[in-house]
Amino acid sequence: MFQVDGEDQLGLDEVGLSETAWERLNLSEGTEVQVTHAPAIESLASVRRRIYGNRLDSRAFTKIVQDVVAGRYTEVQLAAFLTATAALPLDENETAHLTGAMIAVGERLQWGAPVVVDKHCVGGLPGNRTTPIVVAIIAANGLVMPKTSSRAITSPAGTADTMETLAPVDLDIAALKRVVDAEGGCIAWGGAVHLSPADDIFVRVERELDVDTEGQLIASVLSKKVAAGSTHVVIDIPVGPTAKVRSEEAATHLATRITAVAARFGLTAQCLLTDGTQPVGRGIGPALEALDVLAVLQNAPDAPADLRTRAAILAGAALEIGGKAKNGEGLALALETLAEGRAWKKFEAICVAQGGMRTPPKALHVHPLAAPYAGRVIHINNRKLSRLAKLAGAPEAKAAGIHLNVRLGDEVDRGQPLLYLHAETGGALAYALDYAAGAEDIIEIDV
Amino acid sequence: MFQVDGEDQLGLDEVGLSETAWERLNLSEGTEVQVTHAPAIESLASVRRRIYGNRLDSRAFTKIVQDVVAGRYTEVQLAAFLTATAALPLDENETAHLTGAMIAVGERLQWGAPVVVDKHCVGGLPGNRTTPIVVAIIAANGLVMPKTSSRAITSPAGTADTMETLAPVDLDIAALKRVVDAEGGCIAWGGAVHLSPADDIFVRVERELDVDTEGQLIASVLSKKVAAGSTHVVIDIPVGPTAKVRSEEAATHLATRITAVAARFGLTAQCLLTDGTQPVGRGIGPALEALDVLAVLQNAPDAPADLRTRAAILAGAALEIGGKAKNGEGLALALETLAEGRAWKKFEAICVAQGGMRTPPKALHVHPLAAPYAGRVIHINNRKLSRLAKLAGAPEAKAAGIHLNVRLGDEVDRGQPLLYLHAETGGALAYALDYAAGAEDIIEIDV
């Protein structure tokens, strides 16, 4: 169909391929190939049916997720599927079908223990870094807790980002098993384990759309928990006007739905509605949050009490559903485990098993944001604080972020630092200061 | 942030750009540039609100369409917007807001005539190539009809594809004005005129999703009619089980909505519900449809009567709303214009003005599909016929497509050709034959 006039041109009986295609098809030069029209993707008919408001059955979700994981959907088609399930939310059956379909396309870890505990936070609250503390308390009490966490998607730090400033987290399945066999627990990055390959694809598009629906959230979380071989999971749902879940009504609906869908897969889930009106601890950003975690584990006198209490409540619930404490006695056992230093000892051991303990880095640039006038702190905007920390460089710059100096209800003087910005470069600091200057309602003060 | 170790590497104070960025920004090497974070796209908040079921006002649609046309939306974000407006259909107000927003971002043609006539078909019926005939009749009767048409999006031929086998259609605005000034009408490709830049973007994504909603259809059609400077438009809505509009109820809803929204922009629209149960004429594909058009215009004895009648009905309606015929007398005037050869003379003159009349090409490969047994033709599947014509090479291969030999109700003998496949290459013919072998219900015969 075209002229051949140079050695870079293809002959009439030759086919050119992209680098990716060479790799995927595993071909060598000179191989004979047959080229045909791509077969139609049948599951797209289901996506179109869903767009126009028809509910889908288990078979339809299975086909969709299989095609998604096989890489057959374009970004546009992925976006259409995710948007359609936001416009008409997935019901309980559909959520379970999607969860099951996402479990089916991934691997499933096996642990030789009758009880395998897990913990999850639906997110949206900066500094809420309870996971390393919870794992240390649980493992110190003899339960198995092979915890894998994500890196930040839209937040200034994910648990994996924070933990990485304290120990290596990039463990493959063999390393993960070794650590858990030795110490009963781990705090690893889930990305290397690929517990939910479908979720890895959906998350990318959800992030671009900034759309995160209840049904997708539940399918994402539960598919990973089931794939990780968990039998019991405690789920932290922070509720507050600028948290991800904004009303108690929405939180209760989410909790009920999670528990019901989890039960269909033999997973015992307990949801805890927690205070989401302000950040947890003082640090926001990988290293700054790690310092809060260390302070709690080491029983430092200035350790943030709110982080300590939240972690103990979550660990207490896990100890109860995991059978290590009677109902109502979990919190006391968790606090005792912290106070006696057993949690810190276990945490150190886990870090060593994961490859050696590290010291969190410090930022080159630290700059205060001062109160413009005296008064009482009446509102803290979680979303804007997160944005501020990200502009300062978190999570890519591990030392970057925010050290928060005030909490709701505090009385402040004019000029008193409300927070300190931490940045690794002057440019990032300038971005953050620029944003702070135009957003005076990040921390609201009532005169 | 990286090592510089070769002349192809960027220095610390240098920035690399893609070819597209060089062009768009109109920069030369060595220019000093400032790089900042991209500003947030505020209108995406409206898209998210729409995804979650909230209706949008005029201002929101205006901002969305402005950002779309400025190239600020990714494919994923475009897909989300289009999907959201399919899941919860646009209501009349929203359709008008979207139409207005799409008009506002484009150019608007001006004609020095009080009445400017237009014609549109919502599509879905192969071979329904009335436009060239209608324009010829209307212009022959002294009305202004500057018709721009699209190329095929998912069909085997668009009016522009068919017309291109008879004359050049790639006219810019200056050429278009010249042809219309001289002859009163034209049949040009709309792509070069960019009457609705927003629609050009939406259509690409709709095609990938194979989703085409009522609201988007109306906004697309009416934004282009208003931009073209039309005052009166006749709209052909074919109704049939395998046409785009499948029930009279849906057609009536569409017609009512079109008329109401058009009125808000001072445009008089008349919708005609037409028979959509089988293709129009004999040809499906650019050149084969052009031959049908010529036969009707030239009063050939074997000219397809259905195409002639449809074109005359549409032209008659346009002559009536345009004030050239009394109510009830338009059809007769249209048929008279054809019979007297005035339409053919006008069509020839338009072709010459557009750059010279052409002879449609003929296909190298012609192959019959024979009736497998004797009986009566009881069903013709428009969608599958279109797919068959496309596999044979239409519309890229201008001569490719289908010559249909039977109509609904015809009695056929065993072995009698139901249709002839036309293809420019043996490979395309093989694809089409392959599909035909596996889809015996393209033309159903009752024994």
Reported confidence tier of residue A411, pLDDT bands at 50, 70, 90 = very high
Start and end residues for every CATH 3.40.1030.10 domain found in chain A: 117-354
Residue-wise pLDDT tens digits, A113-152: 999 999 999 987 999 999 999 999 999 999 999 999 988 8
Q: Which of A48, A77, A208 sits opposite B74 (nearest CB)?
A: A208
CB A348 within 8 A of CB A182: no
pLDDT of A3 higher than 60: no
CA distance B52 to chain A (A): 5
pLDDT of A68 higher than 70: yes
Q: Which of A87, A211, A391 sits opposite B88 (nearest CB)?
A: A87
Residue A412: other Cβ atoms inside 10 A: 20
Q: Which of B74, B87, B391 sits opposite A88 (nearest CB)?
A: B87
pLDDT of B349 higher than 60: yes
What distance lies between CA A113 and its chain's CA centroid?
Answer: 25
State residue A308's pLDDT score.
97
Q: Which residues of A touch B77 (CB under 8 A)?
A: 79, 208-209
For chain A, give the percent of residues with pLDDT over 70. Answer: 98
Ordered DSSP codes for B384-446:
HHHHHHHHTTTTTSTT-EEEE---TT-EE-TT-EEEEEEESSHHHHHHHHHHHHH-TTSEEEE
State residue B8's pLDDT score.
64
Which of B74, B209, B388 best tests the A interface by mutation, with the highest count of A CBs <10 A?
A: B209
Which of A1, A83, A208, A434 best tests the B interface by mutation, with the highest count of B CBs <10 A?
A: A83
Q: Decide if A80 and B209 are in contact by the 8 Å CB cutoff.
A: yes
Closest listed residue to residue B98, CA positions, set B67, B71, B64: B64
CA angle (A258, A264, A265) in 5-degree steps: 95
Which of B52, B73, B83 best tests the A interface by mutation, with the highest count of A CBs <10 A?
A: B83
Q: Which residues of B touch A426 (CB under 8 A)?
A: none
More confidently predicted of B106 and B99? B99
Q: Which residues of B touch A76 (CB under 8 A)?
A: 75-76, 78-79, 205, 208-209
State residue A8's pLDDT score.
64
Lowest mean pLDDT: which of A338-342, A424-428, B28-32, B176-180? Answer: B28-32
Start and end residues for every CATH 1.20.970.10 domain found in chain B: 43-104
Average pLDDT over residues B153-182: 94
More confidently predicted of A253 and B439? A253
Active site annotation includes B275: no
Average pLDDT, chain B: 93
State residue B221's pLDDT score.
94
Average pLDDT over residues B4-20: 74
Average pLDDT over residues B34-58: 90
Peptide bond into B156 cis (omega under 30): no
Q: Which residues of A touch B44 (CB under 8 A)?
A: 210
Instruction: Name the token pair of A281.
Output: 């601890």
CB neighbour burial string for B191-228, b if at least 16 within 10 angstroms, e if fewer: bebebbbbbbbbbebbebbebbbbbbbbbbbbbbbbbb
Nearest residue in chain B measured CA to CA from A432:
B37
Catalytic residue among B212, B236, B292, B306: B212
Q: Which of A53, A88, A211 sits opposite B48 (nearest CB)?
A: A211
Q: Give the strand pairing for A283-284 and A268-275.
A: unpaired
Q: Which residues of B touch A37 (CB under 8 A)?
A: 391, 431
State residue B410's pLDDT score.
96
pLDDT of B3 higher than 70: no
Residue A118 has φ and ψ, to the nearest 5°, of -140, 170
Q: Decide if A80 and B83 are in contact by the 8 Å CB cutoff.
A: yes
CA distance A407 to chain B (A): 29
Q: Decide if B77 and A76 are in contact by the 8 Å CB cutoff.
A: no
Q: Which residues of A touch B37 (CB under 8 A)?
A: 391, 431
Q: Decide if A80 and B51 are in contact by the 8 Å CB cutoff.
A: no
Closest listed residue to residue A146, CA positions, set A107, A101, A100, A115: A115
Chain B residues whose C-beta sits inside 8 Å of any chain A C-beta: 37, 44, 48, 51-53, 74-80, 82-84, 86-88, 205, 208-211, 391, 431
CATH dotted code for A117-354: 3.40.1030.10
Using the structure block, give the residue that is written with the tokens 């003159």: B349
Q: Which residues of B touch A209 (CB under 8 A)?
A: 48, 76-77, 80
Average pLDDT over residues B360-376: 96
Average pLDDT over residues A159-186: 96
Closest listed residue to residue B127, CA positions, set B382, B335, B315, B420: B382
Q: Which CATH class is domain B117-353?
A: alpha beta
d(CA A190, CA A170): 8
Average pLDDT over residues A22-43: 84
Start and end residues for every CATH 3.40.1030.10 domain found in chain B: 117-353
CATH dotted code for B43-104: 1.20.970.10
State residue B4's pLDDT score.
43
pLDDT of A271 higher than 90: yes
Q: Decide if B87 and A211 are in contact by the 8 Å CB cutoff.
A: no
d(CA B180, CA B401): 31
CB pairs under 8 A between A and B: 78
CA distance A311 to chain B (A): 34
Closest listed residue to residue A351, CA positions, set A191, A224, A162: A162
Closest listed residue to residue B127, CA positions, set B310, B354, B334: B310
Largest pairwise CA distance in chain A: 82
Reported confidence tier of residue A7, pLDDT bands at 50, 70, 90 = low
Reported confidence tier of residue B311, pLDDT bands at 50, 70, 90 = very high
Q: Decide if A88 and B84 are in contact by the 8 Å CB cutoff.
A: no
For chain A, give the percent of residues with pLDDT over 90. Answer: 81
* H-state helical runs in B265-361: 286-297, 305-321, 330-339, 342-353
CA distance A86 to chain B (A): 6
CA distance B431 to chain A (A): 9
Q: Which residues of B touch A88 (CB under 8 A)?
A: 87
d(CA B127, CA B288): 9
Q: Which of B76, B86, B391 sits opposite A208 (nearest CB)?
A: B76
Average pLDDT, chain A: 93
Q: Which residues of B touch A87 (CB under 8 A)?
A: 51-53, 83-84, 87-88
Q: Decide if A75 and B78 are in contact by the 8 Å CB cutoff.
A: no
Q: Which residues of A touch B210 (CB under 8 A)?
A: 44, 48
Reported confidence tier of residue A2, pLDDT bands at 50, 70, 90 = very low
Which residues have C-beta within 8 Å of that of residue A293, sequence separation ≥ 6? A129, A132, A133, A162, A166, A307
CA distance B96 to chain A (A): 21
Catalytic residue among A67, A161, A199, A212: A212
State residue B170's pLDDT score.
95
Average pLDDT over residues A71-88: 94
Q: Decide if B208 and A431 are in contact by the 8 Å CB cutoff.
A: no
pLDDT of A102 higher than 80: yes
Residue B336: other Cβ atoms inside 10 A: 14
Q: Decide if B205 and A51 are in contact by the 8 Å CB cutoff.
A: no
Which helix or strand (DSSP H or E) is residue B269 part of? Answer: strand B268-275
Reported confidence tier of residue B211, pLDDT bands at 50, 70, 90 = confident
CATH dotted code for A365-446: 3.90.1170.30
What distance lies between CA A162 and its chain's CA centroid?
Answer: 12
CB B370 within 8 A of CB B377: no
Nearest residue in chain A measured CA to CA from B49:
A87
Which helix or strand (DSSP H or E) is residue A98 part of? Answer: helix A92-104
Nearest residue in chain A measured CA to CA from B209:
A77
pLDDT of A39 higher than 90: no
pLDDT of B29 higher than 90: no
State residue B22's pLDDT score.
84
Nearest residue in chain B measured CA to CA from A45:
B210
Q: Decide if B79 and A76 are in contact by the 8 Å CB cutoff.
A: yes
Report DSSP state, residue A245: B
Residue-wise pLDDT tens digits, A276-320: 999 999 999 999 999 999 999 999 999 999 999 999 999 999 999
CA distance A215 to chain B (A): 13
Reported confidence tier of residue B164, pLDDT bands at 50, 70, 90 = very high
Q: Decide if B51 and A211 are in contact by the 8 Å CB cutoff.
A: yes
Reported confidence tier of residue A356, pLDDT bands at 50, 70, 90 = very high
β-pair partners for B236: B121, B272
Q: Which of B37, B84, B431 sits opposite A83 (nearest CB)?
A: B84
Reported confidence tier of residue B189, pLDDT bands at 50, 70, 90 = very high
Q: Decide if B83 and A48 are in contact by the 8 Å CB cutoff.
A: no
Q: Decide if A74 and B208 are in contact by the 8 Å CB cutoff.
A: yes
